Chains A and B, each alone.
Chain A
Amino acid sequence: MKALLKSPWVFHLSTGSCNNCDIEILDCLTPRFDIERFGMLLVGSARHADVLLVTGIMTRQSAPAAKRVYEQMAKPCVVVAIGSCSLGQGIFKGSYNAPIPVDEVLPVDAYIPGCPPKPEAMIAGVVKLIQKLQGAK
């Protein structure tokens, strides 16, 4: 668990987002922010990942898929919800297409608000999550 905090590999899952949060996630990998300093890597397969980044409102179609992706991940792992949509469905609240928020489908460990959140906000959120997990162990 201690090693996990030093090398969290990230898998990125969009459940019906407008792509803005996704672009901001990719910003974290650019030279300016460079999250590889902390050992974070963006991986292609959910099997390799330790952190699931969820963006978007969790549409009716994507809820079962998101659940399956979570089940495919090797445990222990954590889930981070990114952006207003995945926190409280944002401007889509009450939409016919988004019956349930993200945290009723997946066990979310950290919420990062913003529309879209800045890369700084994401890094700050992940640091807080790491501190929380260190306290919990």
Chain B
Amino acid sequence: MKTIVQFLIFPGFLFTAVVGLIASWIDRKVTARVQWRVGPPWYQPFVDMVKLLGKETIIPKGTSAVTFLTAPLVGLASVTLISMLLWLTLLNPGKGFIGDLIVVLYLSVIPAVSIIIGGFASRNPLASLGASREMKLVLGYELPFVLALLVPVIKAGGSIRLDEIVASQMATGATATSLSGVLALIVAIMCMQAKLTLVPFDLPEAETELMGGAYIEYSGPPLAVYKLTKHMFMFALPIFLVMTFMGGFGPSPISLILGLLKYVALLVIIVLIRNTNPRVRIDQAVRFFWGPMTLFAIVAVALAFLGW
């Protein structure tokens, strides 16, 4: 019973959805200010969600309705679970379990998988193209992301428990204060940009060439679920990086506010990267991740082993 409440309300769905929507408003507002515009009012993402929930759901002819409609829910559930795991670890220090880092790592691939399933299920050539690009992007960014996450693990003395990683950073300083930590953080931010499918790695949805890509056939509530998943992920994933690289935070109010400031800083970095770069081609994206990013990550791991 307690788990259900935790999943649906506090660190889970409701909390993450509200904060995620506010994060998406920050994203749109900062984008607008960078482009010298005024931007939408703060309640805009909420209005968008309500509107999409009130619209018609169209299921394209010849698709499997079950696959088409459940694909968005898979992503939503996994993002909710990530956020719940992270916040429960943050708010109750010492209550993690062995390997929760790896659980979060695996769960963070599932939103991409749900986009792939939904794209291929919608029986549209552009959606298939978007889904296949998403698949290549996953292949690209997973390798450097996992390598980059090895650095905080090594720094914490080989522990794969999130609470131990946070605790060791609180004792000896954040991972990102060392040379290897900085390198790994840069790699992780780039991978996060691709995981959130934001410009320059927004190839799966590429509005100008694929017209929405994998989402093209979705309308009304399923589209709202996809958008919500993306916004919630925009909250959960930076929190994960704050925990592993930037020292994390504890349940005390001051530490909580500091942690949220770290989160907002990371969010603004994401938004600025998104606004100052053009979209890359898929071959460029994969080459970027398998080339320089993997190299950086390997150097960072080597430096971490040497104690830098």
Contacts and interface: CB of A to CB of B under 8 A. Distances in A.
Given A1-B54, A3-B50, A75-B55, A39 B216 contact: no
Residue in A37, A39, A43, A45 whose Cβ sees the most chain B Cβ within 10 Å: A45
Say what secondary structure dominates the interface of chain A: loop
Interface string B202-230: 00000110111001111110010000000
A107 to B, nearest CB: 16
A31 interface: yes
Interface residues of A, number: 20
A47 B58 contact: yes
A47 B37 CA distance: 27
A75 B51 CA distance: 11
| Size range of the chain B interface in the assembly | 20 to 34
B54 A39 contact: no
Contact of A37 (B40, B54, B211): B40
B207 A44 contact: yes
Interface in B48-94: 48, 50-51, 54-58
B44 A74 contact: no
A7 interface: yes
A48 B56 CA distance: 10
A48 B212 contact: yes
Interface stretch (B28-36, B246-254, B270-278, B295-303): B28-36
B38 interface: yes
A75 B56 CA distance: 6
Interface in B78-129: none
B227 to A, nearest CB: 10
Given A7-B48, A74-B219, A75-B56, A45 B211 contact: yes
Nearest to B31: A36
B58 A74 contact: yes
A67 interface: no
A135 interface: no
Contacts of A34: 32, 37-39
A132 interface: no
B51 A44 contact: no
Contact of B219 (A4, A31, A44, A47): A47
Interface string A67-107: 00000101110000000000000000000000000000000
Contacts of A74: 55-58, 219-220
A128 interface: no
A38 to B, nearest CB: 8
Contacts of A1: 54
A36 B40 CA distance: 6
A75 B207 CA distance: 22
A39 B44 contact: yes
Contact of B51 (A6, A37, A72): A6
A34 B40 CA distance: 9
Contact of A47 (B38, B47, B218): B218
Interface in A9-33: 31
A114 B202 CA distance: 37
Contacts of B32: 34, 36
B26 to A, nearest CB: 14
Contacts of B208: 44
Interface of B: 28, 32, 35-41, 44, 47-48, 50-51, 54-58, 207-208, 210-212, 215-220, 223
Interface of A: 1, 3-4, 6-7, 31, 34, 36-37, 39, 43-45, 47-48, 50, 72, 74-76
3 closest residue pairs by CB, A with B: A44-B211, A74-B219, A3-B51
17 contacts: A3-B47, A3-B54, A6-B51, A7-B48, A39-B47, A44-B207, A44-B208, A44-B211, A45-B211, A45-B215, A45-B216, A47-B212, A48-B215, A48-B219, A72-B58, A74-B219, A76-B55
